[in-house]
Amino acid sequence: MATKVAIAMSGGVDSSVAAALLLEQGYECMGLYMDLWEGSNEKPAREIAKKLGIEFYKIRLRSKFKKEVINYYLESYVKGETPNPCVVCNPRIKFGELFKKARELGCEKLATGHYARIMGKELRKGADEKKDQSYFLYRLSQKQLSKILFPLGDKNKTETRRIAGKLGLEIVQNKEESQGICFISDKFYTDFLKKHLPAEYFKPGLIKDIEGNKLGRHKGLPYYTNGQRKGIGVGGPGGPYYVIKLDHGSNELIVGKDEDLWHKRVYARDLSFISGETPKKPQKIHARIRHLGKLELGTLEVKGGRAIVTFAKPVRAFTGGQSIVFYDGEQVLGGGIMELEK
């Protein structure tokens, strides 16, 4: 009997081709669409499932998504951090709650259109360096990995689009990729924050340089992030200025020169390792501090549940709340949430 697989379908080219490839490989497939927020639209995914001749279910996960992901996103901004909600959504919602529903429907595995690879007990980078999504998956557990399929892991985007045409999926072959955060339909993320956070978090305040000199006023700290240059609103002979720190205690925006953004050490909390085991001693790794960012050589040491990463060369613009992900060659070791304070 063929293995029954659920495919998380969005209606885009990646999940559509993933489903088609699994059908070609002999799996018994069904499509699952995650209804996560108001305004979500399952129609494109349903049309693809119909074209492929597979069962399709709309899975309502709005309350779980709000509790686990949206609240996390908002709370991070309250703390003065810049969060990455996908890092939380993948283990808790997509490969957590959605897989529970898949099991209830009789499926043994869950597939997605992620560009990443699973080899035995290892999570590895996708073959397409420009589309690799392993950065977002470092919180997956061994139990989850054993139940996941990534049909596009060894493909590149051009190949995926070509396969879509070959398999008769012209309606998604050249479909534009979704950009930004899935639950924010507003043009600017600050519009979303204004709808969901008290006005006090958008109070204007002072802009100071790292020596404490007053340079101007900011329009509310949620409008800024570490390393930002445009839109600060201060200039002069000492510029250009970049955001160095958001000080929520004093409601001050601290700015400085580009050289003030470069550091060799960063700390991380909320650690997660793919193997399930925390490193007992310092080890050489490569680390990525943003999606598709450069892999930087460094040393990872874990003390008291926190990671200390010391890089071989200074790295620019660590951002509190973003993930740092550790690699050993192609293999994803794990990661954590960056903190700017010791």
What tens digit of pLDDT does each residue of 163-212 get?
Answer: 999 999 998 988 888 777 888 875 688 899 999 999 999 999 999 999 99
Pick the CATH number of 261-339 from 2.60.120.260, 1.10.8.100, 1.10.150.120, 2.40.30.10: 2.40.30.10
Note the pLDDT of residue 177.
80
What whole-number distance in Å separates Cα of residue 124 and Cα of residue 121? 10
CATH superfamily of 4-173: HUPs (3.40.50.620)
Query: How big is the chain by its Cα radius of gyration, in Å?
Result: 22
- Which pLDDT band, with edges at 50, 70 and 90, does 253 fall under? very high
- Say if residues 59 and 116 touch (Cβ distance below 8 Å): no
Q: Where are the domains of the chain?
A: 4-173, 198-256, 261-339
| Site of tokens 């557990």 | 141
Taking only the tens place, the pLDDT of each residue in 47-103 is 999 999 999 999 999 999 999 999 999 999 998 899 999 999 999 999 999 999 999
Mean residue pLDDT across the chain: 95
What whole-number distance in Å separates Cα of residue 245 and Cα of residue 249? 11
Does the pLDDT of residue 236 top 80, yes or no?
no
DSSP string, 89-106: HIIIIIIIIHHHHHHHTT
What whole-number distance in Å separates Cα of residue 124 and Cα of residue 193? 34
Note the pLDDT of residue 173.
86
φ/ψ of residue 2, rounded to 5: -70, 145
Q: What is the pTM of this model?
A: 0.95
Active site residues: 89, 182
Does the pLDDT of residue 341 top 90, yes or no?
no
What is 198-256's CATH number? 2.30.30.280
